């Protein structure tokens, strides 16, 4: 989104500052009070993201010690804008250090406790003072055992990622290519970066940030300076366009590899496959880590631990799930790659990162897919088939000439697919190789067994959905099923037209159009209740996995109030379901650029320059907010801007163009705005 300032011509611009690694002076101590919150007893979970990060760091320290190396350094990043924590994975690999999170203005007690318990002597802060304040840096420096405190930072997130890559030093090769490689992810909608972090750690690859369509100069310069030969792009073209990848090639890379799926869940599968196919590192086939794909904050620090591997047999991949369901593409991958098991079956090790509010126990159990080697058959006596002690030809005490049927312990599986926002139909399939029961109601999914959980405005998948659903006929009274002859069929939300009626299989039936009525909604969840069908052995189907209707509407960003002479303006975001993952829910000051009119005075005329300190944005709670060019006057009230010029920033001038970069915010499914 761009807005041009009208009025008299003038000059403005933010001065760019290069990235740097600087020793941090101790300034005073400030430690925040602990927040109590209930969470399930899990090794990699805490009351909040800060405690979860510490839990992950403790596991990393223990795994390193078991491998014969004690951790002496910790990387500290902001937990309020966690992009720096993701980019830090390559520095973590170089230093052999875990990453923990801090509040911007105060150090969580759990972080101080970890540093003391692990006998850490060096802290490396990533991100500038707007991300990790001098007060926190001082609190870290004042801890008794800390000897060195360094900071790695750039003028914005893109420059900080490049600075981290520089500080890490040696650039690793991508798998068996022998090529110096960097990973490229969207700097504003980067859930994909969470799933690639274990790969980046294991191979020692720098993680660089880009805009959707434009490769920032600082990123391009690193590609050239570091002699990068291959770029691994993570995510589809909606988050990192082919143009951005081509810019990396123009900067010196010769090859591009894209790891992507149709959704962020599919991308997590694509990255896991890439680890398995790599050759120079090994994928642990018996362990996986689960992260909520719409609330990724708990997973941002997991890369170092999972790059080491939690099972000691190789890299542990991250797979995205929802709070209560395993997406179909993830479930299919788990079934395909289930570990080779002994007789009776052995579940793979599943580690959920975060508490049960973000990854439920139901999801953990569902992902423990087993591959069972059938046991050898027991010796048996052929009863009632002639001869032997029990008589022949159907005689004897047991009579009959038909052998007892083999027991069937596998229940039919019901799957839902093919639903779209505004759609009038979707598919229900029944998977059962041994045949369905002929009993009444056992051989066909009935419309009364189809459930819907509507997504509430303002929430993600599972807000209004995710809990107990209702029969779909409560939402669509005419809904019906056109049977497919195999127990499933097509669910028509507005009923059917033609033929002999739903579920009778007669005539040429089709789904009614709905006559302009609203169909399925984005992020509605569809599923089939338990015991909808039974097989010939009367095993009943379980409740199906939930199908989440894709969110296809990207957030919209608007700019208003940018007038000549103004020192503030407003950025608005139109989206009821903003993501709550790293960098997805709020336009940040570095996402906003100012381009002074071409031909005007000053070195930045005609050049887009990201806003930086002292400029700040006062969040409005909906992803946007009031942009204060001179900074936020916190003493003047919760929404007051400074009126005194500082830092060389001047008021808006005629012809200035204000823009918000594409991908500044994203919705709960990772769909970014295209500003």
Q: d(Cα 134, Cα 367) in Å, to the nearest integer?
A: 43
- What 3-state DSSP class applies to 235? coil
Please state whether the predicted TM-score (pTM) of the whole model is above 0.85.
no
Delimit the domains of the chain by residue range. 20-153, 412-432+441-541
pLDDT of residue 39: 36
Sign of CA dihedral 113, 356, 335, 344: positive
Contact 614, 589 (CB under 8 A): no
Q: What is the DSSP string of 363-426?
A: HHHHH----PBPPPPPP---TTSSSSTT-STT-TTT--SSPPPPP-----EEEEE---TT-SEE
Contact 584, 665 (CB under 8 A): yes
pLDDT of residue 502: 45
| Average pLDDT by stretches of 10, the chain with 675 residues | 49 30 31 32 78 91 85 94 91 95 94 92 94 95 93 94 94 94 90 93 96 94 96 94 96 96 94 94 89 88 92 88 92 80 56 87 77 39 36 38 49 84 86 68 86 69 57 92 88 82 54 80 88 85 85 80 92 76 77 83 77 93 92 86 90 89 73 55
Contact 127, 133 (CB under 8 A): no
pLDDT of residue 387: 38
Q: Between β-strands 287-292 and 318-321, what pairing exists: parallel, antiparallel or unpaired?
A: parallel
| Closest to 674 in 3D by CA, of 235, 666, 296 | 666
pLDDT of residue 21: 31
pLDDT of residue 346: 55
Sign of CA dihedral 354, 356, 360, 364: positive
Q: d(Cα 61, Cα 249) in Å, to the nearest integer?
A: 38
pLDDT of residue 457: 56
> Residue 285 is encoded by which pair of tokens?
């086939």
| Closest to 97 in 3D by CA, of 126, 134, 130, 129 | 126
Q: d(Cα 616, Cα 508) in Å, to the nearest integer?
A: 62
Q: What is the DSSP string of 561-628?
A: ---TT-SEEEEEEE-SSB--STTTSS--GGGEEEEPPTTSSSTTTT--EE--TT-EEEE-SSS-EEEE
- Using CA atoms, how far residue 124 sits from 64, 147, 167, 382, 411, in Å, is 18, 11, 11, 74, 53
């Amino acid at each position: 989104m761009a807005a041009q300032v009208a009025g008299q011509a003038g000059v403005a611009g933010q001065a760019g500052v290069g990235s740097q690694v600087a020793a941090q002076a101790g300034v005073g101590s400030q430690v925040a009070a602990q927040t109590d919150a209930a969470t399930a007893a899990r090794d990699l979970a805490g009351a909040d993201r800060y405690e979860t990060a510490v839990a992950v760091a403790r596991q990393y320290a223990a795994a390193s010690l078991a491998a014969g190396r004690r951790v002496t350094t910790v990387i500290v990043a902001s937990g309020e804008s966690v992009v720096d924590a993701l980019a830090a994975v390559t520095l973590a690999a170089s230093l052999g250090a875990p990453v923990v999170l801090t509040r911007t203005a105060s150090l969580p007690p759990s972080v101080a406790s970890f540093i003391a318990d692990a006998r850490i002597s060096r802290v490396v802060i990533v991100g500038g003072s707007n991300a990790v304040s001098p007060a926190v840096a001082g609190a870290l420096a004042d801890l008794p055992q800390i000897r060195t405190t360094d900071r790695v930072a750039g003028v914005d997130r893109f420059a900080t990622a490049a600075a981290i890559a520089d500080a890490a030093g040696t650039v690793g090769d991508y798998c068996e290519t022998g090529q110096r490689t960097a990973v490229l992810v969207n700097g504003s909608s980067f859930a994909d970066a969470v799933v690639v972090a274990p790969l980046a750690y294991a191979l020692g690859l720098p993680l660089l940030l880009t805009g959707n369509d434009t490769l920032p100069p600082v990123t391009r310069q690193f590609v050239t300076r570091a002699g990068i030969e291959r770029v691994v792009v993570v995510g589809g073209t909606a988050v990192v366009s082919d143009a951005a990848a081509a810019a990396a090639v123009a900067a010196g890379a010769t090859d591009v590899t894209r790891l992507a799926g149709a959704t962020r869940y599919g991308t997590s599968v694509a990255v896991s496959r890439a680890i398995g196919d790599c050759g120079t590192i090994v994928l642990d086939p018996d362990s996986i880590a689960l992260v909520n794909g719409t609330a990724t904050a708990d997973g941002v620090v997991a890369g170092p631990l999972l790059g080491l591997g939690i099972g000691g047999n190789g890299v542990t991949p991250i797979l995205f799930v929802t709070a209560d369901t395993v997406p179909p593409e993830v479930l299919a991958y788990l079934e395909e790659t289930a570990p080779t098991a002994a007789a009776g079956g052995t579940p793979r090790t599943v580690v959920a990162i975060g508490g049960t509010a973000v990854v439920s126990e139901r999801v953990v159990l569902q992902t423990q897919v087993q591959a069972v080697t059938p046991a050898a058959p027991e010796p048996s006596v052929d009863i009632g088939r002639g001869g032997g002690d029990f008589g022949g030809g159907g005689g004897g005490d047991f009579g009959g000439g038909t052998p007892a049927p083999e027991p069937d312990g596998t229940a039919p599986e019901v799957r839902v697919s093919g639903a779209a926002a505004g759609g009038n139909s979707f598919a229900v399939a029944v998977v059962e190789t041994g045949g369905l029961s002929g009993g009444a109601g056992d051989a066909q999914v009935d419309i009364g067994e189809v459930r819907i959980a509507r997504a509430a405005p303002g929430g993600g998948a599972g807000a209004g959905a995710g809990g107990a659903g209702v029969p779909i006929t409560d939402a669509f009274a005419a809904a019906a099923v056109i049977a497919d002859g195999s127990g499933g069929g097509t669910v028509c939300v507005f009923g059917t037209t033609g033929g002999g009626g739903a579920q009778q299989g007669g005539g040429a039936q089709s789904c009614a159009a709905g006559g302009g009525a609203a169909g399925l909604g984005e992020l509605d969840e569809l599923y089939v209740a338990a015991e909808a069908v039974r097989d010939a052995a009367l095993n009943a189907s379980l409740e199906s996995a939930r199908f989440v209707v894709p969110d296809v509407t990207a957030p919209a960003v608007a700019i208003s109030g940018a007038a000549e002479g103004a020192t503030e303006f407003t950025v608005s975001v139109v989206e009821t379901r903003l993501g709550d993952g790293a960098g997805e829910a709020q336009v940040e000051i570095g996402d906003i650029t100012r381009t002074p009119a071409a031909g005007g005075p000053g070195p930045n005329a005609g050049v887009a320059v990201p806003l930086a300190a002292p400029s700040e944005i006062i969040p409005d709670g909906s992803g946007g907010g009031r942009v204060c060019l001179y900074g936020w006057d916190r003493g003047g009230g919760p929404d007051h801007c400074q009126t005194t010029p500082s830092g060389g920033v001047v008021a808006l001038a005629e012809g200035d163009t204000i823009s918000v970069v594409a991908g500044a915010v994203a919705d709960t499914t990772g769909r970014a705005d295209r500003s």
